[in-house]
Amino acid sequence: MRILGISCAVPTNVIYSDEFIPTFGEGVVKKIVANTGVVERRHVKSGCTSDLVTAAAERLFEETHIDKNTIDALIFVTQTPDYLTPATSGILQHRLGLSQNIITFDVNHGCTGYTDGLILTQSLLKGLGLRKVLLLVGDTLSKIVSPQDQSSALLFGDAGSATLLENSDDPFYFVAGRDGAGSMCLYQNIGYRNGLHVKNQIDSKNDLVFHMDGLKVYGFTIDCVPKMTKNLLEKTDWLLDSVDYFLLHQANLFMIRNLAKIVKIPIEKVPIGIENFGNTSGTTIPMLFVNQMRNKLLHGSKLILEGFGIGLAWAGVALEWKDGIICPLVEIDC
């Protein structure tokens, strides 16, 4: 599998961490910013995740001059779809002018969304012999994060991405897993199990907002990511020093730096892009490509991409970069 191109889109609406000083106090905000590294982030005003991934995909089509009829599958990975039903991937197929003779999937994954999406893409390309797959990953977590919640209000941003991949014999390795016992460490308490029914109304705003147990997630991450990295290196037969860049999910600055220290990765090989965009869920890795790696990658660069978090899940892939197109960041008013 080979990456032909990557594009990302964000809203033009900027939210600054200092805006939360009246709510939480200056001392609290400064401490959160120091730990998370997030100074500002982008939030949609009325748009949806589909608007962001559409903008990213359209820019990608412009840059790659791709024949849309060669795209055999569309995968949309998000926790914030347009509707509970129908699947947003079908809406995106029509909106992007893709062939009706196409496979489409909605996948409900968050922090591991991009790496899980790459694994699913590889399985479709190789298992079904498809030509090209369009992987769309994005979230608008501003719609479900409470502005009164210290653990998340200053952390999450909105973004969407589009990655075009083609069938090839390029090496591709992956490691993935999930500890479902920790699923409720990060969750939104809305669904059919908890009373979502046409005869009922949600009478508590707590059902709508996102909940996070930061300490448990941190403990899980510090345990699983070093093991995931070790397993990936064993599968690839690469030495740690031979990897050019480690693109880690941008959970927060404190976590990224600690992971680099524990795994003994030189910090210059771990790009960080959380300051201006926050934690954009499954989109953090493609955002790194667009904002930090656009002029750094060389043909044959060895990359390890690792997602971890909500689920509790982990998914990492190892691949070599082969001159794909990385588009400039797209900004849209939505």
Tell me 9's DSSP state.
E
196 vs 73, residue with greater confidence: 73
CA distance 19 to 142: 15
Cα distances (angstroms) measured from residue 148 to each of 14, 40, 114, 152, 161: 18, 17, 29, 9, 28
Q: How far does CA 91 lie from the centroid of its chain?
A: 20
Domain definitions of the chain by residue range? 1-334
pLDDT in tens, 92-142: 999 999 999 999 999 998 899 999 999 999 999 999 999 999 999 999 999
Q: How far does CA 331 lie from the centroid of its chain?
A: 17
97 burial (CB, 10 Å; 0-12 / 13-18 / 19+) is: exposed
pLDDT in tens, 229-276: 999 999 999 999 999 999 999 999 999 999 999 999 999 999 999 999
Residue 286: pLDDT band (50, 70, 90) is: very high
Specify the pLDDT at position 48: 95
CA distance 103 to 152: 35
- Class of CATH domain 1-334: alpha beta
Average pLDDT, rounded, for the chain: 90
Share of the chain above pLDDT 70, in %: 89
178 vs 323, residue with greater confidence: 323
Query: Does pLDDT of 209 surpass 70?
Result: no
Query: Does pLDDT of 202 surpass 50?
Result: no
Query: Does pLDDT of 188 surpass 70?
Result: no
Specify the pLDDT at position 279: 95
What's the N-to-C CA distance of the chain in angstroms? 33
Tell me the backbone φ, ψ of residue 166, rounded to 5 degrees. Answer: -125, 160
